[in-house]
A and B are shown apart, each in its own frame.
Chain A
């Protein structure tokens, strides 16, 4: 029993409730949210270090022990992702103060923001499959509100699509959970893993595994289930877009991590090969999108899809290097995607357009903005010593070891294309002749730049200090590769 495990979920809940009561006092809301985010980071750091020193922490909610009650499990992967989520939450919150607009702030933006964090943190920490569904729903409810808040025409149109896609995938989720329950008679992830190992994953369970892949693939936007993403993420204002891009798809990826390493790992010739092909196709589609568009929001959105493909490919290889690489790359990608969204947000505000052909010459007036973007861009592409490098290198090593050279080639080429797509933004957005009429007076560039700089700095540190981070990552990978550790911690055998 360890109540600390659940605090990253409970804390934003209390904050959100408090914010409902002070909904009309915007200054106060900002301060409360900010303060709460700082505490949230401290809590999740404490969680990471506790897990590091004591191993996996569990909590049988309501004194019902596993496998009978719902159990909250903080292993290293989950704790690291919770910490990353809280850091990103803080940065986006800081950015929101200056860009989300008073109208949205007055209409419960900050409470809903906290509720989204509850869903994301909860999905990472739960050890029960049905409870995972519940936290998915909490997260989705909050995301519906954030997507539609403001009610512009494009938001309403895209919200409708987004809700239809997610309602469908949620019902499919419940159906799959029901199938799994009728086969195995349990919903506790550790016990599911144990029972699948006992029967050595017959065909019916592999089918269910693919069913779950469809569900999580829809949330995580893998090929061919990504079509909703470019449209839906395009609609809301930049802070919400950053929040979605950095967190929501990653919850889908985390769920694939969980299901494909803890539960369905016995028939890798079928499930993981399938996963590998989907991942590579996802990368290809993402690359095509990222290169084709002149709209900077679209370019970064398609870069999300590329990253999803790279991480999933690492999972499908399923050896130590590739999994470490995937985890490193996942955390890196969350940080840097959030930063990139915030940065292009400033560019769009300054130029009054998101078309790259309407921009130019920003570096003359805003050198800090330009160089932050440059560092973020080459981190994204994975140039050493920045944070994307170590992750990609390990994924490539892992793929090489298992002999998947086609995969290696595609991941390598995709890096080049990622570099091209972000350099295109840099060259057309920052070089060239300055266009007349920047709305510099109306945009508090420096204040908006601070959160992006914080994120980029953390990601640079993350890249330079990979050596220091590695014990944490390898602890996470150890649990993923040996499901017994997880099972023993949860079922206490």
Chain B
């Protein structure tokens, strides 16, 4: 039986972008307010899962040709490199550095190495969640 999923597909086309943008906002807001790499990552995977539900695995792999296992590796690599940065600068591992700068439009903002670590977390969470969901999905 062919399902009629026109409504779902139409909504998804808009909603997926909203969710993705919100995920990025939450990820970046994470340093000073609730949020961060973990939730941001989960939310991103939620957007991708919504795409998977509305369309199918083939379409989504065409849109996002990513090997999620490599994504896990990349995330781990970014986080661990941030951790190991301490070796280069002769400070204890995981020590974070930060600086405040003024940009024309964004104004007074802070740059932290902790965000790099969090970026790694973000990628690992997306990678792990999507690997699990794809593995379950494939076996059907």
Contacts and interface: CB of A to CB of B under 8 A. Distances in A.
Contacts of A61: 92-94
A13 B80 CA distance: 8
Contacts, number: 42
Contact of B93 (A3, A16, A17, A23): A3
Interface in A177-220: none
Contact of B94 (A13, A21, A62): A62
B80 A59 contact: no
Contact of A20 (B69, B86, B87, B96): B69
Contacts of B80: 10, 13-14, 17
A463 interface: no
Contact of B95 (A13, A14, A20, A63): A63
A3 B73 contact: no
A274 B76 CA distance: 43
Contact of B76 (A1, A17, A62): A17
B70 interface: yes
Nearest to A7: B87
Nearest to B87: A3
Given A3-B86, A10-B83, A20 B72 contact: yes
Contacts of B70: 20-21
B111 interface: no
Contacts of A13: 76, 80
B77 A59 contact: no
A61 B94 CA distance: 6
Interface string B61-77: 00000000110110011
B116 to A, nearest CB: 14
Interface in A260-298: none
A247 B87 CA distance: 29
A60 interface: yes
B84 interface: yes
Contacts of A21: 70, 73
A62 B83 CA distance: 9
Interface of B: 69-70, 72-73, 76-77, 80, 83-84, 86-87, 91-96
Given A10-B93, A17-B73, A63-B91, 10 more contacts: A1-B92, A3-B92, A3-B93, A10-B80, A10-B84, A13-B76, A59-B93, A61-B92, A62-B95, A62-B96
Q: Which 5 A-B pairs have the closest CB atoms?
A: A20-B73, A62-B94, A63-B95, A17-B76, A61-B94
11 contacts: A6-B93, A10-B84, A13-B76, A20-B70, A20-B73, A21-B73, A23-B69, A59-B93, A60-B92, A62-B95, A63-B95
